[in-house]
């Protein structure tokens, strides 16, 4: 993959999803951090249903640690891994209060020190909340990047991110992240990708494999047997 080929891909996906954006509902950096933490192994749609009530009840880090852990667990029980996530949220809020005066830190390095916040979450927060260019590699970005040949099938998430950062102009990192997510979520789906109408089919090994007609095998001719003489 070279930059010209990447440019072609970016232009096609840009035309398909010009208004791609973060679909997690939030009104500030703190809410976004909580929402992204909850989104691990969970759909944005489910997270938004849960945070609709959650963000009305909890406004500040102090609110999350003012209730028993069991109460917070019940508030997010529709989220996968809700017990672990509730624990992470309370620990994260304690650190925000103790170390950052209750504010979400603005650097990637500081964010990844927070409980439950990994590289992907930090990239989402710095890019969407603070306007710092970043490419967060979630399951959609990883799948699409590998199908289109941007990355190899056995590349790690970090390797996928580095290859995208090298091929995509820095000022387009954030919008590319969103457009790749939309492309993977609504077009190049994991189980039923829209290969038959995809203009990037010629670049997609997965698509070519799916579209290749299956050869019909002819049944082997039965060997004639000579009846034994009795």
Cite the active site residues.
120, 138
Residues 131, 224: Cα–Cα separation, whole Å? 77
Specify whether the CB–CB gap between 90 and 65 falls below 8 A: yes
The Cα-based distances of 191 to 40, 155, 186, 195 in angstroms read: 19, 20, 11, 11
DSSP 122: H
Distance CA(192)–CA(48), nearest Å, equals 24
The Cα–Cα gap between 219 and 76 comes to 57
Contact by Cβ (8 Å): 5, 145 = no
For residue 48 the two structure tokens come to 């938004």
């Amino acid at each position: 993959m070279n930059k010209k080929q990447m440019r072609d891909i970016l232009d096609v996906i840009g035309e398909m999803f010009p208004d791609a954006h973060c679909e997690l509902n939030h009104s500030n950096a703190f809410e976004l951090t909580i929402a992204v933490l909850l989104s691990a192994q969970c759909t944005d749609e489910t997270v938004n249903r849960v945070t609709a009530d959650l963000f009305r009840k909890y406004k500040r880090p102090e609110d999350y640690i003012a209730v028993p852990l069991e109460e917070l667990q019940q508030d997010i029980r529709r989220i996968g891994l809700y017990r672990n996530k509730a624990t992470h949220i309370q620990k994260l809020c304690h650190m925000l209060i103790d170390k950052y005066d209750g504010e979400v830190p603005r650097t990637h390095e500081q964010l990844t020190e927070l409980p439950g916040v990994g590289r992907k979450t930090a990239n989402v927060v710095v890019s969407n909340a603070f306007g710092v260019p970043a490419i967060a590699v979630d399951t959609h970005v990883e799948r699409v990047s590998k199908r289109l040949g941007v990355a190899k099938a056995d590349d790690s998430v970090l390797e996928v991110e580095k290859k995208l950062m090298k091929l995509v102009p820095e000022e387009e990192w954030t919008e590319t992240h969103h457009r790749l997510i939309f492309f993977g979520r609504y077009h190049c789906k994991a189980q039923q990708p829209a290969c038959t109408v995809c203009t990037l089919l010629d670049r997609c090994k997965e698509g070519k494999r799916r579209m290749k007609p299956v050869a019909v095998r002819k049944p082997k001719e039965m060997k004639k047997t000579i009846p034994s003489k009795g």
